[in-house]
Structures are given as C-alpha cells and as structure tokens.
Amino acid sequence: MSPNLGPFDKTIALVGLSGVGKSSIGRRLAATLGMPFRDADAEVEIAAGRPIAEIFEQYGESAFRDGERRVIARLLADPPHVLATGGGAFMHAETRRLIKEKAISVWLKADIEILARRVSRKDSRPLLAGRDPLDALAAQARDRYPAYAEADIAVETGDTPHQVAVEAILKALAERAEAAP
C-alpha cells in the first residue's frame, strides 16, 4: 500500500456500467490494499438464495433493486472493505447518499464499445438479455452517467490490464487524501 494512503476508515465503493470491471478490479484493489472484498451482486444472490437473473424473472427489477438497497446498506455498516456495486445501484438516491456518507465512491469508466465487447461474452446480465449490448449500454450510459458523475473519484479503465486500473485508483485515492484538510 502507498505510504500516502494509510489505513482506510471508509469502504471504497466501485460504481459503473456492466462490464467495466468493478468485481475483477475490486478484487485486485482489495488485495493490494489488504482489505476485504465484497461483491454486492453476489451478496444479493446469497441473501435471496437465487441468481439475479432468476430474481428479475420471477419478481422483476423493482424487487431486485429493493433487495440490492438493503444489502448495500448492510454492507456499508460493515468494517471498511472494497465493494463492487451493481451497475444500477448508484442510481437510487438513498443508496447514493449512503455510499457518499459511508464510503469513497469510485466511478470506473470505459468506452461503450469496449464494454459491449466484454458483456457480449456473458449472458448472465438481465438488463442486457436479448438486446444489442452496444445499444443497451449506450442507453444505460445516458441514464446513469449523471448519477455516476456524483462519485468522489472517476477513473478511466480503458482496454488495459486490470492492474493499470488499480494503479490509477490508488493514485486518485492518494491525490484525494493529500487534498483533504
């Protein structure tokens, strides 16, 4: 860990569109910082006892979002860790407020074309199922970018190895720590 960063007294919450690398970058960031890693989507599945796709299919997006909000609120009450949130989690005003209060939010950004290529490799994303990934992600970007822009830090991940994104996050966290009063 960078000597400028010191121990974190807040969770680091990663936000961004599907395919940007919140989970994979988050795991590497947590390992680098010696912090636990938590994935909100995985925690929702554990709490619900079923996969997210099944929650969407049986109960709809609204029920999923309600569960997601409760799970993220619970995770934010835990000791500091790196948290990968679901792509739509930061859209909810209460969740965004909780993250701003109890975490350092990091918006991971990448070109829509890169994300579309990545998400087309998996069919487990309910909001993209049966849709052209490029069109679906472009629509999500239009809707979500204004909320994501409220994050404490924004990091462009590009089409580089995850470690490059981790280093960019560490640099941004160090700069933020140095700028703090």
Question: Which helix (H) or strand (E) covers residue 179, if one does?
Answer: helix 162-179
Residue type, 177: A
> What share of the chain has pLDDT > 70, as a percent?
90
Q: What is the pLDDT of residues 108-120, one digit of tens each?
A: 999 888 888 877 6
- Tell me, yes or no, whether 1 lies in a domain: no
Q: Give which of 167, 13, 157, 147 is closest to 76, Cα–Cα.
A: 13
- Tell me, yes or no, whether 3 lies in a domain: no
Q: Give which of 72, 102, 83, 78 is closest to 39, Cα–Cα.
A: 83
- Tell me, yes or no, whether 163 lies in a domain: yes
Q: Reply yes or no on whether the pLDDT at 59 is more than 80.
A: yes
Question: Helical H runs in 49-161?
Answer: 52-59, 61-77, 93-102, 112-119, 133-148
- Tell me, yes or no, whether 5 lies in a domain: no
Contacts of residue 70, defined as CB under 8 A and 6 or more positions apart, other chains included, come to 47
Q: Reply yes or no on whether the pLDDT at 129 is more than 70.
A: no
- Tell me, yes or no, whether 181 lies in a domain: no
With cut-offs at 50, 70 and 90, classify the pLDDT of residue 7.
Answer: low
Contacts of residue 156, defined as CB under 8 A and 6 or more positions apart, other chains included, come to 109, 110, 168
Q: Reply yes or no on whether the pLDDT at 69 is more than 70.
A: yes
Contacts of residue 10, defined as CB under 8 A and 6 or more positions apart, other chains included, come to 80, 102, 103, 104
In this structure, what CATH number is given to the domain that contains residue 52?
Answer: 3.40.50.300
- Tell me, yes or no, whether 145 lies in a domain: yes
Question: pTM for the whole thing?
Answer: 0.90
Rounded CA-CA distance 50/61 in Å is: 14
Overall domain count for the chain: 1
Domain that holds residue 33: 11-176
Q: Which pLDDT does position 18 carry in this prediction?
A: 85
Q: Which pLDDT does position 120 carry in this prediction?
A: 65
Overall average pLDDT of the 137-149 stretch: 93
- Tell me, yes or no, whether 6 lies in a domain: no
- Tell me, yes or no, whether 18 lies in a domain: yes
Contacts of residue 64, defined as CB under 8 A and 6 or more positions apart, other chains included, come to 44, 52, 55, 56, 126
Q: What is the pLDDT of residues 36-52, one digit of tens each?
A: 999 999 999 999 999 98
